[in-house]
Amino acid sequence: VSENQPYRTAFHFQPPQNWLNDPNGPMYYGGVYHLFYQYNPYGAVFGNRMIWAHSISYDLINWIHLNHAIEPTEPFDINSCWSGSVTILPGNRPVILYTGVDANNYQVQNLATPKNLSDPFLREWVKFSKNPIMTPPNGIKVNEFRDPTTAWRGLDGKWRVIIGSELNNHGMAILYQSEDFVSWTKYQHPLYISEETGMWECPDFYPVSINSTNGVDTSVQNPSVKHVMKASFNSHDYYTLGNYDSQMERFISESDFTGTSLDLRYDYGKFYASKTFFDNVKNRRILWGWVNESDSTEDDIEKGWSGLQSIPRRVWLDKSGKQLLQWPVEEIETLRDSQVSIHGKKLSSGAVFELSGITAAQADVEVFFEVPELEEAEFMDPTGVDPQLFCGKENASGNGRLGPFGLLTLASKDLTEQTAIFFRVFRGPRRYIVLLCSDQSRSSLREEVDKTTFGSFVDIDPRLEKISLRSLIDHSIVESYGGEGRTCITTRVYPMLASDEGMHLYLFNNGSSSVVISRLDAWSMKRAKINGKESLRYRA
Ligand code: DQQ
């Protein structure tokens, strides 16, 4: 597959060809970052012999592809090596725990260890001879038992790990314990059972500091942390905050998963099966997520590839304690090239203003809006409002008082094609309400692509702070961070008219009140080396 295909990205992680899905076992080891991922070596669609592909990086931005780490070879994984995680055991010994789809199509958990710990690239992995180490427990469907998390070590020295499952439509995290990481015993009750969410895929469970933006190791348990429980279902990654009661072996959640727009999500666009890891070099927790295509399967096959990884994001607890914040890892800034800046520019009602001087198809844009006429805000009672449906109805072309205002990304010169990332501001019963929308309705003239619009509330008070937006634009993906990482929306778009040179970027205001760009910085982005070859052995 040529890098010049219009929808190939320049700085997002993607393999040279074929299908990619979940990030697996991310870690830092031996001076390098490792990323494994679900990969189908045989085509651009999901397959029935899924493997763990493997890449390494010194900076989370430029990557070297290695040989595949784990492939179906044994009765315990012959029908696929599905998702899982890495745990670093004492003595700096990483182990992989992954789900094998066995000869009977049962989902079982398997172990693999590096062949040679002195190879920082950990090129070769050896499957444990006594796999599987966990099989579906009684009462659990044999095809609903998967995706082990990074394990944590309790104060009693025992290891714990959770596995995604479901019982009578209640999503759950089945808990196992082990002294030696090899023989595992199911605990009497799950770490958490949810409302009727359906099957939980790729759970993630980790501590976040209450008073610091630093990340902490997965095993940390003390009064200075809260815990995050993330589950993937319903095509989204939902999380709740709460406390881990290690005596009772329960996660005490502050609110349950409902699967509705009221739940906290990492991202209100496309972002699934994500996984975090603790980076002890920079003391941060990093989140990777799978961003799938919105294009038709036929087109994926024709393009020869499908799926991206998000830009790795740092994740930490907001000061409010009510939600997580996310921000692209700082290393992405090394790709910044030519820059344009704006200070104090008014966007009157109806303004459309082109931001020239940077590559619109490959850009990093950060903008802070000020809304001088807040008293003009229309009233909204947010009770029962689904922000995504609202954004779909009241799209970028509509008029309000305060907004829509924001960016028109990946736009053709005549604006026939455009992906609008915009805000609306309302006065609520108690406070102002800020809404971030990503409007795909006019993103492409092509009909077969999914153009669903996304949206969510952003927890900011526009009286006290500016309304900020950062968007990473990369050919067929726009990753947006509203309110300095409070609300993220990732979208995939396939403009037709807007080929690379013809791509444009605008600021706009369709609201009847003016807004002010108090500050804007935007950069052209250089291409990352995503497909560096070390000993590439991709099967056609
Ligand atoms: N994908 C994996 C599963 C996981 C699902 C298979 C989530 O292990 O549950 O590729 O996308």
- Residue 484 CB–ligand 1 contact under 6 Å: no
The answer to whether 484 and 325 are in contact (CB under 8 A) is yes
> Ligand 1 pocket: which of 97, 105, 201, 291 to mutate (most atoms <8 Å of CB)?
201
Give a yes or no: residue 187 inside a domain: no
- Residue 110 CB–ligand 1 contact under 6 Å: no
Give a yes or no: residue 82 inside a domain: yes
pLDDT digits (tens, 9 = 90+) for 175-232: 999 999 999 999 999 999 999 999 999 999 999 999 999 999 999 999 999 999 999 9
- Residue 69 CB–ligand 1 contact under 6 Å: no
Domain boundary among 107, 139, 171: 139
* Distance between Cα 538 and ligand 1 center (Å): 21
Q: What percent of the chain has pLDDT over 90?
A: 94
Q: What is the pLDDT of residue 534?
A: 63
Atom of ligand 1 nearest to the CA of 46: 10
Q: What percent of the chain has pLDDT over 70?
A: 97
Q: What is the pLDDT of residue 398?
A: 87
Q: For residue 78, give both structure tokens.
A: 């012959």
Q: What is the pLDDT of residue 503?
A: 93
Can you tell me the distance from the alpha carbon of 458 to that of 375, in angstroms, rounded to the nearest whole number? Answer: 19
Q: What is the pLDDT of residue 538?
A: 39
Q: In the 8-state DSSP scheme, what is residue 70?
A: B
Give a yes or no: residue 234 inside a domain: no
- Residue 273 CB–ligand 1 contact under 6 Å: yes
Protein residue whose Cα sits closest to atom 7 of ligand 1: 273
Please give the residue range of the domain that contains residue 73: 18-139
**537 pLDDT higher than 60:** no
Q: The domain that contains 481 carries what CATH number?
A: 2.60.120.560
Give a yes or no: residue 462 inside a domain: yes
Can you tell me the distance from the alpha carbon of 27 to that of 24, in angstroms, rounded to the nearest whole number? Answer: 9
Active site residue ranges: 22
Q: For residue 535, give both structure tokens.
A: 């000993």
Q: For residue 312, give both structure tokens.
A: 């790795």
* Distance between Cα 257 and ligand 1 center (Å): 20
Q: The domain that contains 66 carries what CATH number?
A: 2.115.10.20
At a CB cut-off of 8 Å and minimum separation 6, what does 107 contact?
82, 99, 100, 101, 136, 142, 143, 144, 145, 146
* Distance between Cα 202 and ligand 1 center (Å): 7
**535 pLDDT higher than 60:** no
Whole-structure pTM over 0.95, yes or no? yes
Protein residue whose Cα sits closest to atom 9 of ligand 1: 201
Q: What is the pLDDT of residue 401?
A: 95
pLDDT digits (tens, 9 = 90+) for 374-429: 999 999 999 989 999 999 999 888 889 999 999 999 999 999 999 999 999 999 99
Q: What is the pLDDT of residue 532?
A: 75
**294 pLDDT higher than 60:** yes
Q: What is the pLDDT of residue 258?
A: 87
Atom of ligand 1 nearest to the CA of 99: 8
Question: In 275-386, where does DSSP find H-type helix?
Answer: 297-303
Domain boundary among 109, 139, 169: 139
Give a yes or no: residue 243 inside a domain: no
Q: What is the pLDDT of residue 91?
A: 96
**100 pLDDT higher than 60:** yes
Domain boundary among 139, 159, 190: 139
> Ligand 1 pocket: which of 71, 147, 149 to mutate (most atoms <8 Å of CB)?
147
Question: In 162-310, where does DSSP find H-type helix?
Answer: 297-303
The answer to whether 476 and 9 are in contact (CB under 8 A) is yes
Q: What is the pLDDT of residue 540?
A: 32
Give a yes or no: residue 511 inside a domain: yes
**85 pLDDT higher than 60:** yes
At a CB cut-off of 8 Å and minimum separation 6, what does 4 contact?
none
Give a yes or no: residue 168 inside a domain: no
Q: What is the pLDDT of residue 477?
A: 98
Give a yes or no: residue 536 inside a domain: no
**539 pLDDT higher than 80:** no
Question: In 304-429, where does DSSP find H-type helix?
Answer: 387-393
- Number of domains, the chain: 2
- Residue 40 CB–ligand 1 contact under 6 Å: no
